[in-house]
Structure 1
Amino acid sequence: MRTWSVTRSPVPPSLEDPAAWALHGASAVSFAVDHDTYGNDDVAYTAQYLHVGLTRTEYTTRVLLVAHRSDLASPTAQDVVGLANLHMQRASNERMAYVELVVHPEHRRQGVGAALLAEAEQVARAHGRSVVIASSDHRGEPAADAPGALEAPTGSGRIDSAEPGAAFAHRHGFVLEQAERYSVLDLPVDPDLLDRMHAEAADRAGADYRLHAWRDSLPEEWLEHFAVLETRMSTDAPSAGLELEEDVWDAARVRAAEERIAAAGHAFLVVAAEHEPTGTLAAFTMVEMPHDRPAVVFQEDTLVLREHRGRRLGMLVKADMLRRLAASHPGAERVHTWNAEENSYMLAINVALGFRPTGVSGEWQKHLT
């Protein structure tokens, strides 16, 4: 039986450096897996994105592990058959390690994943982490009565327990805690639909709310307000049984996030709703657009603070965002988003705007011993 070695990726000064072989190999595996799962590479990791993760560690420690044959003294990018991408927050959730494990379709069921996971857990322990969160990607959601259908403990969302990612997680001691719906919106959206949704939401919100939009950099005056929204994202968004704690942001972290997005080769756009009587931000939505893939848009965080819910602010900021995208990025063809299956309000907004269910992500948790 073939054996595998797991190597920690160096942190090269540039992607042209010979030490960047692991980054390029990991990216190639990510592209192959996404083609196998979804038929496209829209959300696959680029080498540039992975490199930025390893070099910008002010708030998160990131470790990239790659697997290759054990008999190779000097592996190259072409020899990489799998990866484990770990990130560990430095100022909050200090018990947690997040692991994304990816194995090339041609090398599954050969011990690659087990070798990567064993090393990833060792890295997590070395950083004082006792809980690991991982995910499994599934092309679709099985019917409730389908053989092997596994429902999340929340009662919302199912995955096929027989599919490789789920079977691997269960076999290695992980417990399913949550299901996230993966949805895609084909662009452009009918302008009449967007105008109607925007008008209805604005009427419901009333005169107390005012929209702002920023691209690539937030004005200084709104940094602390935006930090509050990102902090609340860690507590207000559904997290099921995942043992997550508050993740505190401040103005410096907002600026660091902007710099990281730019370094990854992405632009971003934020639409936020100000509650004018208090001068604070009540809701926001954010998207990222890779410069090298103009057809692709990633929906990042969307949040309405609990105290401002019931006024259709979620629909207001998202409809406004899509109208702005149509004007500023006419070449965009698809928006990708993930939402907890129990987040019925946000899912209803997405469905109304035309997002179509494309897959399900299982969110798994394991306590290290």
Structure 2
Amino acid sequence: MSTTARPGTDATTGPADASRPWRVVPAPPVPDATDAPDAWAYAGIAEVGRRVELDRWGWTDLHAPTAVLLGTLRANPYRDVAVWVAVTEGDGTGDGTDGTAPAAGDVVGYASALLPLTANTHTAQLEVAVHPDHRGRGVGTALLAAAEDHVRAAGRTTTLTWSGVRPEPEPGPGALTAPTGTGRVPADAPAVRFALARGYALEQVERYSVLELQDDPAPGTAGDLPTADDRAALLAAARAHAGADYRTHTWRDELPEDRLDDLAELWTRMSTDVPLGGLALEEDRWDADRVRTLLDRMAQRRQHVLLTAAEHVPTGRLAAFTWLQVPIPEVPFAFQEDTLVLREHRGHRLGMLVKGVNLEAFTAWRPAARRIHTWNAQENDHMLAINVALGFRQAGVEAAWQRTGL
């Protein structure tokens, strides 16, 4: 079971010898820099993540390099994070048993537990990943046990985790369908069997989609794709339908202070107004300080924020928004993150409007970009229809798992 941390690029290291014994240890505190002595664990995690993503999708866009991980796994006022690594032993080069520190190449798996601090404090979000060359040796089971012990000691009773797979299977005896009635995963996939065997229930399936901006389709996304002219026509139609009552604003990395309260309300409504399936999640309240913290976190993770919002002109309030997470290095991809139209402003094509404007701004800024990744609940028909019209094509699915009564 693993999630994606949404990344950039990184160097690689060779895998540890699969015949060596291993053990699970807490990772050192997150260091300030990639060249710090304790960064070995995070460099190892980055390489495990790279190999997992390559094995799963056939590419590595979704892995988080070391510099990104340091920002991703650092605690902040809204969440605590704990991390464990499985390291190999017995070669005398750094397993921790002979007085030396392990090395990045000794890491064969990792687990993390994210504990929300201001809302949904009954929950924890877990991630477990094992290097493909080291699967089937109990590494994942031991890592999950370490994370669950930590979560249990913290008084959390509900754990959530996600796992990705491609392609989505057709309905039938070999497919496990989410309780929402939409979205399936193959029942015999290793991550599915792993989750079910450890008491996790499938609660929701998200569609993982990719928008190809160049003539180089990602694995599983081939087919007739809308052109840039097609997208421009969709944006023009959305502008016309929204009319003079709505105007858009686009910001990169810095957001105006007088808009932070409105943006906080939009992020709050993201926690209540999007489909959640059977996930036991409650409202997660945002304020201006939390928006500032998000921008700071993105900078620590070496990510730009490109955000477009639609203002309702008669009231001067923001009615919709969308944002892209764009790696600071000039990599050929980005990530479509939250999009929301307030319920009271739906029916004006604001979803298409803000997405179209933001996409136009992105392609003008990064003309060499080749693709954008995104995830949506399979039951979110309206947002999926917008994405399909813009050219997003399904590349796989992400299963949302939940265990209660831990």
| Pairwise same-fold verdict (TM > 0.5) | yes
Partner of 1:274: 311
1:282-318 deviations in Å (ceiling 9; x for gaps): 1111001112242010111111111111211111111
Partner of 2:78: 59
- Find out whether 1:6 has 2:6 as its counterpart: no
- Find out whether 1:367 has 2:404 as its counterpart: yes
Deviation, structure 1 residue 38: 0.9
Assess if the C-alpha contact under 8 Å between 1:56 and 1:260 holds in 2: no
Partner of 2:220: none
Partner of 1:307: 344
For 1:234, what is the secondary structure of its paired residue?
A: helix
Partner of 2:55: 36
For 2:244, what is the secondary structure of its paired residue?
A: coil
Amino acid in structure 1 at the alignment position of 2:201:
V
Name which of 172, 187, 190 aligns with 2:213: 187
Alignment map for 1:311-326 (pairs within 5 Å): 311-326=348-363
- Distance (whole Å) between structure 1 residues aligned to residue 371 and residue 83 of structure 2: 28
- Distance (whole Å) between structure 2 residues aligned to residue 332 and residue 13 of structure 1: 30
- Distance (whole Å) between structure 2 residues aligned to residue 172 and residue 3 of structure 1: 23
Partner of 2:242: 205
- Distance (whole Å) between structure 2 residues aligned to residue 54 and residue 144 of structure 1: 37
Assess if the C-alpha contact under 8 Å between 1:4 and 1:111 holds in 2: no
Alignment map for 1:65-104 (pairs within 5 Å): 65-69=84-88, 71=90, 72=95, 73=97, 74-104=101-131
Deviation, structure 1 residue 135: 0.9
- Find out whether 1:232 has 2:269 as its counterpart: yes
For 1:206, what is the secondary structure of its paired residue?
A: helix
Deviation, structure 1 residue 23: 0.3
For 1:319, what is the secondary structure of its paired residue?
A: helix
Assess if the C-alpha contact under 8 Å between 2:33 and 2:67 holds in 1: no
For 2:124, what is the secondary structure of its paired residue?
A: strand
Assess if the C-alpha contact under 8 Å between 1:191 and 1:323 holds in 2: no
Structure 1, unaligned stretches of length 5 or more? none
Alignment map for 1:212-227 (pairs within 5 Å): 212-227=249-264
- Distance (whole Å) between structure 2 residues aligned to residue 341 and residue 280 of structure 1: 30
- Distance (whole Å) between structure 2 residues aligned to residue 167 and residue 124 of structure 1: 22
Name which of 350, 354, 366 aligns with 2:391: 354
- Distance (whole Å) between structure 1 residues aligned to residue 32 and residue 359 of structure 2: 37
- Find out whether 1:113 has 2:140 as its counterpart: yes
- Distance (whole Å) between structure 2 residues aligned to residue 55 and residue 108 of structure 1: 27
Amino acid in structure 2 at the alignment position of 1:111:
G
Amino acid in structure 1 at the alignment position of 2:28:
P
1:129-151 deviations in Å (ceiling 9; x for gaps): 11000111101100102x42000
Name which of 129, 132, 144 aligns with 2:171: 144
Amino acid in structure 2 at the alignment position of 1:163:
A
- Distance (whole Å) between structure 2 residues aligned to residue 290 and residue 56 of structure 1: 21
Distance 1:368-1:107 versus aligned 2 partners, 3 A rule: farther
Amino acid in structure 1 at the alignment position of 2:383:
M
- Find out whether 1:248 has 2:285 as its counterpart: yes
Partner of 1:292: 329
Assess if the C-alpha contact under 8 Å between 1:266 and 1:291 holds in 2: yes
Q: Which moved more, 1:62-71 or 1:109-118?
A: 62-71
Amino acid in structure 2 at the alignment position of 1:175:
A
Amino acid in structure 1 at the alignment position of 2:23:
S
Amino acid in structure 1 at the alignment position of 2:205:
A
Partner of 1:176: 202
Structure 2, unaligned stretches of length 5 or more? 1-18, 215-225
Assess if the C-alpha contact under 8 Å between 2:248 and 2:354 holds in 1: yes
For 2:331, what is the secondary structure of its paired residue?
A: coil
Amino acid in structure 2 at the alignment position of 1:15:
T
Assess if the C-alpha contact under 8 Å between 1:53 and 1:62 holds in 2: no
Matched residue pairs, number?
368
TM-score by length of 2: 0.88
1:7-30 deviations in Å (ceiling 9; x for gaps): 221122322112111100000000
1:306-350 deviations in Å (ceiling 9; x for gaps): 111121111111111111111111121110000000001010011
Assess if the C-alpha contact under 8 Å between 2:209 and 2:373 holds in 1: yes
- Distance (whole Å) between structure 1 residues aligned to residue 228 and residue 204 of structure 2: 34
Percent of pairs identical after alignment?
48
- Find out whether 1:129 has 2:156 as its counterpart: yes
